[in-house]
Amino acid sequence: MHVVITGASKGFGKEIAIKFAAAGATLYLCSRTEAALKETSSLIQKEFPRCKVHYKPADLSKKSGVRELGQWITAITPAVDILVNNAGQFLPGSVYNEPDGTLEQMIDVNLYSAYHLTRILLPGMMKKKQGHIFNICSIASFQAYDNGGAYSISKFALAGFSKNLREEMKPHNIKVTAVYPGAAYTDSWAASGVDPQRLMEAADIAAMIYASSQLSTRACVEDIILRPQAGDL
């Protein structure tokens, strides 16, 4: 099982990588920060020696970075089984006061990275008539909130991409799942002052993605919505 995970050095991406590594998958991990990615990859390889870990740092906010990553993956394997588009960034603000260029940055990272990498890897999946694509959207994809601004707009767009892709890939036997996590405890929440017990664990999201990937070829989980038990913050 060949699994590509972007934004894999920490948070959701790291937990998803751990989940698939435990199953003996061959991993292709990417994040922007080389040192953190190398550390995560080494820890996973050490803990799960049955799996094989490939990693490559890349800035997926740039189309050239996505292209380099895609070419690197396809040079190793002609087709991947699972693609997890997890790379993302959050910049707070509102439409009326966020700095000029914020929307472009959010779209580049949160939408275009997934769009361009998927397009590079789809031919191999389509030829094999097999594959599963997970797009990590957000509760912000369908519920606007204060200070969400361009981030929420970009996540709405990612949800739209997921729905469109799902319809296009049905004839090719390729599954598409949109994942909508609410607040989960990751580095971005560490300094918030919110009690970690109020939040989900990143491993919860990983568990749902892995479970969805293990269904028969006749079933597709189209949407995964996860919220803290006490509700959104």
55 is annotated as an active-site residue:
no
Cα separation of 40 and 22, whole Å? 14
Phi and psi torsions of 142, nearest 5°: -140, 10
Q: Which helix (H) or strand (E) segment is 120 a member of?
A: helix 113-128
Any residues with CB less than 8 A from the CB of 4 and at least 6 apart, and which? Answer: 28, 30, 73, 80, 82, 83, 84, 117, 121
- On the CB side of 102, CA atoms within 13 Å amount to 18
Check 28, 55, 151, 185 and give the catalytic one.
151
The distance from CA 34 to its chain's CA centroid, rounded to whole angstroms, is 18
Element (H, E) at 132: strand 131-136
Q: Is 226 exposed, middle or buried (0-12, 13-18, 19+ CB in 10 A)?
A: middle
Determine the straight-line distance between the first and last CA of the chain, rounded to whole angstroms.
Answer: 36
Three-class SS state of 2: strand
Catalytic residues: 151
